[in-house]
Amino acid sequence: MGKRVVLIIQARMGSSRLPGKSMMDLAGAPLVGRILERVKRCSRIDDTVLAIPDTEKDAVLKSLGDQYGITVFAGSENDLVERYYQAALRSKADIVGRLPADNATPEPSEIDRIVDHHLSLGRPGFSSNLSVIDNSGYPDGIGAEMFDFSLLAEARERNPDSRRREHVHLNFYDYGIGQPVDAKWCPISTVKCPAEFRRPDLVLDVNTQAQYEFMRKLYEYLYPRNPKFHITDIIRWYDEVYCRASG
């Protein structure tokens, strides 16, 4: 039997930089709803879990997950390692995918690409095309991270540091300095971005009001024309419409 791959999307209403962003409107649906809509088109994911804090203010996200037919797990608000571990344990994941809910334009084919790559390695580790690793050329925010459940379980036991408990990837890889945490324990791997959308300058996160306004314009333009718009459509809009109008 093959390994079970579970994509876990972390979301909350209490974002410190942009509170309530998970439910902000993008072309007529909440931001998290648009993410769920897109990842449903992945073909290499066995299950998707929306992992939220177990708080009253986050109950709206539970309702949203139910509306989209997505499994919802409610756990620790600030200990993301524990939230991921419990969600992965409950969903019987062998391979855990991580997708933050501030990445509003995940590309299904690129998530499938990193899944296939990770499975092909034949050993535990951490693989990512969520952002640039080793000059991979990826736009920031269209892929995902993949790591073995066994490593997540080990990280849960070995790293009590509060910052690492809050930021799952810091147990494996630090994007800020471009370095693995412990390459012998957890090898790091990536794939090269296809040439037609190799744009590491492009940031597709929603962490601030300005980034939300950018994403709102993106969705208002692209979604009515094609609800399944591709990263190449985003790049064309950015270069030919957004930048031209902005400058």
Which pLDDT belongs to residue 120? 97
Give me the domain span that covers residue 27.
Answer: 5-246
Which pLDDT belongs to residue 1? 64
Token pair listed for 114: 């990193």
Task: State which residues of the chain have pLDDT below 70.
Answer: 1, 247
Which pLDDT belongs to residue 32? 98
Burial class of 106 by CB neighbour count within 10 A (0 to 12, 13 to 18, 19+): buried
Placement of tokens 């009253």 in the chain: 56
pLDDT digits (tens, 9 = 90+) for 80-117: 999 999 999 999 999 999 999 999 999 999 999 999 99
Which pLDDT belongs to residue 65? 98
CATH of the domain at 49: 3.90.550.10
pTM: 0.96
Token pair listed for 151: 């490593």
How many domains is the chain partitioned into structurally?
Answer: 1
Which pLDDT belongs to residue 247? 65
